[in-house]
Amino acid sequence: MKAPRVIGGVCLTVNPKGCMASVRRWINEERGRPPLLSGPKSVLVLGCSGGYGLAARVVAAFGAGAQTLGVSFERPPTLKRRATPGWYNNLAFDAAAAEAELFSETLVADAFLDETRQAVIDRARERGIPHFDLVIYSLAAPQRTDPVTGVTHRSAIKPIGQPLSGQTMDVASGVLSDVTLTPATPEEIEGTVKVMGGEDWLLWARALKEAGLLADGVRMVALSYIGPSSTYAIYRSGTLGRAKEHLESTADEISRLLAPLNGRAQVSVQKALITRASSVIPIMSVYVCAMYRVMKAKGVHEGCLEQMDRLFRERLYAGGEVPVDEAGRIRLDDWELRADVQAEIEAILARVTPDNLAELGDTEGCRRELMALYGF
């Protein structure tokens, strides 16, 4: 087996067996919980191959017994090169679903294209799926080609208004270094909103509705992040936050579209976790490292699977009105933002140096989690 090589939070090697074993572990964990009897029955997951999307798919299928159709953008293997991790995750998921006699099918395609929307609609019809009662939107992508204009937009992870200097942690090595990020240009802000905002989510809602593929009472859920004020400069007040604000405001527009079906679109605010997408966000990594240490010590740490299980079990399918905040968002970042958790994280961040990071934060836990994403 090739030794793992990591550059800038991205591992260049993959261990297929390890990826597949991780998916099976999640499936077994979910099966160990009481069945979600009131859960969804037919689920579309956009961004199904890793992180939050994969976790949602596992909970839908192995917690609620739902049929699932997934879309993700992964590179297949060639004779010379292994596939991306999500490719193997998809294989493992589909194999386990088949063993459990649960319908599942996975499309590897660019979810931002109209052709992919049509392919999902065609596939659902071919397979006799009458409609979806839950659509999870969990895409994290570096670029998107606008299907109307043909222009390719790129997302940037930058502050807005002024430069941002801070410490960043290389997740793989736990090494802390200083970094300064220049403020985003108007084009970079616009590009990030185009890629990670709600425009594409709305196009999915329209296409699925027009195709008659949305069930009465359908729920469409997209994922967001807010975080504490100590991370606003890099996230919520930066380019990514601008895109998330757009995504969040799109929920109302989609809800209006779904109203004749008694459906609703909502954004669910999740906790910060190390995933393939998040491990490349500078500066956030130091916060995440401290947060892991504090939340684990308090016994309130959750991974993607626990977060998604709680979303389904205690929010979406708990019966009755789904609890939301003043802006209509579902909050699963409640434990991360607890005052006692944040006070301890802040105390760590105030003292952290390259020499004491491993002692004060959870560098080892973060490193292990990053490597596990690639099957190591």
Mark 69-98 with x for binding to ligand NAD (rule: CB under 6 A) and - for no binding. Answer: --xxxx-----------x------------
Closest CB to ligand NAD among residues 232, 261: 232
> Which is nearest to 295 in space by CA: 250, 348, 252, 245?
348
Number of CB atoms found within 10 A of residue 78's CB: 8
Binding span for ligand NAD by CB under 6 A among 25-33, 171-179, 229-237, 271-279: 271-279
Question: Binding residue for ligand NAD (CB under 6 A) from 104, 275, 285, 363?
Answer: 275
Which 109-168 positions form the footprint of ligand NAD (CB under 6 A)? 110-112, 138-141
Instruction: Give me the helix-helix angle, 284-297 and 363-373, nearest 10°.
Output: 110
Tokens of 359: 């002692």
> Which residue of this chain has its Cβ atom nearest to ligand NAD in the complex?
51
Query: How many Å apart are CA 95 and CA 273, to the nearest integer?
Result: 26
Rounded Cα distance between 273 and 292, Å, is 9
Q: Cα dist. 214→131, 167, 195, 253, 352 in Å?
A: 5, 46, 24, 16, 50
All residues at 6 or more sequence positions from 255 whose CB lies less than 8 Å from its CB, including other chains: 263, 264, 265, 266
Residue 327 engages ligand NAD in binding (rule: CB under 6 A) = no
Of the residues 61, 92, 193, 272, which one makes contact with ligand NAD according to CB under 6 A? 272
- Closest to ligand NAD by CB, 47 vs 159, is 47
Q: Given candidates 53, 238, 263, 361, which one binds ligand NAD under the rule CB under 6 A?
A: 53
49 in contact with ligand NAD (CB under 6 A) = yes
Which residue stretch of 47-55, 149-157, 205-213, 292-300 sits at the interface with ligand NAD (rule: CB under 6 A)?
47-55
Nearer to ligand NAD, 68 or 138 (CB): 138
Q: How far is the CB of 278 from ligand NAD (least distance, A)?
A: 4
CB of 137 to ligand NAD, least distance (A): 7
Q: Which is nearer to ligand NAD, 73 or 232 (CB)?
A: 73
Binding residues for ligand NAD, total number by CB under 6 A: 29
Cβ closer to ligand NAD: 82 or 276? 276
Q: Are 347 and 148 in contact (CB under 8 A)?
A: no
Closer residue to ligand NAD (CB): 279 or 363: 279
Which pair of tokens denotes residue 250? 């799109």
Alpha-carbon distance of 57 to 190, in angstroms, equals 31
Active-site residue 137, yes or no? no
- Helix count (H) and strand count (E) of the chain? 12, 13
| Part in contact with ligand NAD (CB under 6 A); list of ranges 10-18, 27-35, 184-192, 269-277 | 269-277
Residue placing its CB nearer to ligand NAD in the complex, 261 or 328 = 328
HSE (side-chain half, CA atoms, 13 Å) at 316: 32
Work out which of 16, 39, 52, 258 binds ligand NAD, going by CB under 6 A: 52
From the candidates 235, 287, 292, 374, which is the catalytic residue? Answer: 235
Which amino acid would we find at residue 204?
A: W
Residue 345 binding ligand NAD, by CB under 6 A: no
3-state SS class at 67: strand
Structure-token match 């990670």, residue found: 196
Instruction: Please pick, from the candidates 250, 278, 285, 363, the single residue that binds ligand NAD as defined by CB under 6 A.
Output: 278
Residue 85's nearest CA partner among 95, 99, 72, 96 is 72
Phi, psi of 343 (to 5 degrees): -60, -40
Number of residues that make up the chain: 376
Point out which residues pair with 71 in neighbouring strands. Answer: 46, 107
- For ligand NAD, the binding residues in 214-243 under the rule CB under 6 A are 223-225
Under 8 Å between Cβ of 85 and 375 = yes
Shortest distance (Å) from residue 304 CB to ligand NAD: 7
Of the pair 36, 274, the CB lying nearest ligand NAD is at 274
Positions in the binding site for ligand NAD (CB under 6 A):
47-53, 71-74, 86, 110-112, 138-141, 223-225, 270, 272-273, 275-278
Catalytic residues: 235
